[in-house]
Structure 1
């Protein structure tokens, strides 16, 4: 399930100061991701591991888990870093992470899973993906209160990203095989779409993608991006981008990037139009580059 509402202006918090909030949120996300790993029905492409955005809860939620109590999802509300248990698409139980440890959260998840008749031993044996180190991984308490404004800003970015990605994705629905669903992978923490242009091995089939990343080692601030696939191609002459955004440097991954600080320079009432224009323009350039790849 993926939902979006209206654009939420960003810029209340300097995008270059969101690193600590992002890292805490990324680690907290691994907890419901562990539950999804063991309880969501397995899919060969591992897509059972990804999450979707639900705007009315400002949350990411897992795929459905069938139980005798109803259809269950585990998730995380980013605005206040609260773990969620949903039954039939409504919140049934919550675990705020402020002042808690990963062990506290795991105990809550285990108790809730067992109440639903799920196999607690499977969850106990689960482990989460390796992500950038942070003290909470070693038992430190989550400190949400100190980063409340930053957490709220992340909610705005992700809600906006889902909104824009839905709009741009819709323009490519006539392509076959076409775009996948808008999903977030807990390991990477980005929300994205891949538009496949031909059948074949996913590693070599022509495609292009676009999405939003809250920041990483290549760019510490939130950013939108596009890229052609396979990624190895880089034309000697790149087409000019209209409006915001830029092509990434030659010594990094190949694609385009629109940084949060550039979005924040736009007036609040123009942000949505500016990001939408960037993503449509850059995605189309990447589509053409992918098609022309030998």
Structure 2
């Protein structure tokens, strides 16, 4: 099984933990995830006032439950869906969370977990490649936002599995931008950086924009700029975001 598919599926346990234990938000942000470069992990929001959280660790392909500064690690290799649900439910009960854990997705993924599903052992080099992409995108977005004096959380949305940020421009125009790193899809056949502008809830047309130095403009379906991750170092991704932003100002 493709390593990206396995990591995406593993992230759904974190998303459903957020859905199970946190108050729902209209934009679904209670289910999104943070990426922490210091421990190479995806992480839920805190699930209670004590700072309990569930994480996915890239390095050892495992889930980690942290409560009261104690960590329990559950390796995913060879584990079935039922075994994982049982473990998370046990951790939640031990941590005295006020609701039960339920694995219940409210969106469709391009792949599913069947009754006979078990996680395989992904290739270490593939896990490291995906980890590097998340790290590069996290650092590039953080750097761009700081350079442009823009504010946004940087979160991973479990449905499309993109690392994303969203910010209202501070020039008084009422425009906003969404940007980040997307996984391969119908638009691009590999990971890619993206940025799009919005005004009055509509996407801003890019057909009249000048050619980008790095990346290219799209205007069919998705309206915005894209840059293939294979063509982008962290610094080039920042330059791509900055140049694209200049067209929206």
Q: TM-score, normalised by structure 1?
A: 0.75
Contact 2:180–2:193 (8 Å) recurs in 1: yes
Q: Which residue of 2 aligns with 1:5?
A: none
Map of 1:158 onto structure 2: 134
Greater strand content:
2
1:225-251, CA deviations, whole angstroms, 9 ceiling, x for partnerless residues?
111114543244222212x21112x43
Q: Does structure 1 retain, via aligned residues, the 8 Å contact 2:206–2:217?
A: no
- Decide whether the 8 Å contact of 2:206 with 2:224 is kept in 1: no
The reply to whether residue 49 of structure 1 matches residue 31 of structure 2 is: yes
Over 3 Å counting, the alpha-carbon distance change for 1:241 and 1:93 in structure 2 is same
3-state SS, counterpart of residue 240 of structure 1: coil
* Higher RCO (CA-CA < 8 Å; seq separation 6+): 1
Query: Alpha carbons of 1:71 and 1:143: their partners in 2 closer, same or farther (altered >3 Å)?
Result: same
1:75 and 1:84 in contact (8 A); partners too: yes
What are the residue-to-residue correspondences of 1:75-224 with 2, within 5 Å? 75-87=55-67, 92-119=71-98, 122-124=100-102, 126-128=103-105, 129-134=107-112, 136-145=113-122, 147-173=123-149, 179-197=151-169, 206-224=175-193
Q: Deviations over 1:21-58 (max 9, x none)?
A: 11111111101211111112444443222111111211
Pairs aligned (count): 243
Higher helix share: 1
Q: What residue in structure 2 maps to residue 261 of structure 1?
A: 230
Question: Using the alignment, how far apart are the partners of 1:119 and 1:217 within structure 2?
Answer: 41
Q: CA offsets per residue over residues 76-107 of structure 1, 9 Å max, x none?
A: 1123331111235x560111111112211111
Give the secondary structure class of the aligned counterpart of 1:255: strand
Runs of 4+ that moved beyond 4 A: none
| 1:152 to partner: Cα distance | 1.2
Q: Is the 8 Å Cα contact of residues 139 and 234 (structure 2) preserved in structure 1?
A: no
| Counterpart contact for 1:80–1:144, Cα < 8 Å | no
Other-structure match for 2:211: 240
Cα gap change, 1:228 to 1:240, in 2 (>3 Å): same
